[in-house]
Structure 1
Amino acid sequence: MDQDFSNAPSDQELEDLSLEMPALARLRDFARLAENVQWFSDLGTPLRKKVREIARAYLDGLGFPDAGMARLQSWEETAVAAESFDWDTEGWEAEESLRAALTTDALEHLSEEALEIGMTYLFSRIQEQIRQAVLTAAAIWGTDDEELIAAAMGAALQAAHGAALAVVALEDDAADHPFIHRFRLYERGRWPVGLAGRTYNIF
């Protein structure tokens, strides 16, 4: 899970590059937004109206308008829901299709090298913050399931990566992309674990 960010650009280096590449500036701004997310701070609470609205927008955009949503109330329930992805991959496949399309579109705005620089900067800003947030949440809930803790960290980083791709590729139209909606669930302190059958499980 850990990555070496010794080659991550400094704030000034990225600032200089961003002056030449507007898409990289958008990615820089997203990274700074992601730094302020209260990751995993509202796990297990009732699904409030705004959370349901965001989840509905995500599901509709992903192509599952008939799917409902369910609240996971413990790390144990979350572990069971996460295991379903080993055999129920429909939601994951839909996301991977979107991710591939976004990557292609993003590379119309940035070179592969510039995109890698931007993503390295993003992860260098948020990885440790996410780690600490997950460990804090796990301690509060009294769980020591290392595999599930690692899955939570990986899911948050993946969500940030997908949203960042949307920001780079879609410019002003990014706000309606499913990956942005999924990221907004993390902004509200939730862990959207994923789709199982026609139920979107949210911790």
Structure 2
Amino acid sequence: MGKPDAEGHGPADGLPGLPPEWGRVVVPDDASALAAEAAQIRRELRRAAGLSGGPRALGLPLLVLLVAVLTTLAGLLVVTWPRANRGNDRPTPAPYSPPATLTGRALPALDLVDASNAPVPLRGLLPAMIILVDGCPCPDRVAEALAVAPAGVSVVTVTGSRTVPAAPANQRQVRALADPAGGLRSFLGQPARPGGLTALLVDRSGTVTRVLPDLGSVDTYRQDLTALTA
């Protein structure tokens, strides 16, 4: 074993001066005597290195997990949010509005058929109020139009099948025709709507003067109907 200096502090066996607060320092002759202390120091260093490197080592996996969780939550929010009010917040379909250019255009030269399946040129019945009844027969509405139509103006009902509907009983006869080829519907550019009537007012020259997408009360078209006789 080595020996300290005479006072137990300071240099011993050739060692440089050490701080007094370290106390008595003994330097062994055999370095193997320090193996236990060295092993303890190595354990402490490894523990310190593990603590200092742990957060960095775990940082990337935690970041990936956080991004995955946020992405999943965002996807659930997008999927469920629009469905929350789906039952109470449905958009109301806009009513059909015929093209603005349809009024003022010439009625096509269409040949329809009557109850005996004989061809009837539609332009040969002008001036006329032509009512498409393939969405609804609605005989009461047809009878109202017939009652206010002036003399000389034909009231024509048109269905899309080959079956011609019966005309309502009235002092004047409605001309009931069928349009199996769908030429008149194609001219209008709109499908038949259940429960709805569509009407065209056409003057004697064959020009469409008004389109009624949803035939209302007679007060909404009485003046236009009278004007067809001019």
Give the TM-score normalised by the residue count of structure 2. Answer: 0.21
Give the TM-score normalised by the residue count of structure 1. Answer: 0.23
Which protein is richer in helix relative to its size?
Answer: 1
Relative contact order, higher structure (CA 8 A, sep 6+): 1
Which protein is richer in strand relative to its size?
Answer: 2
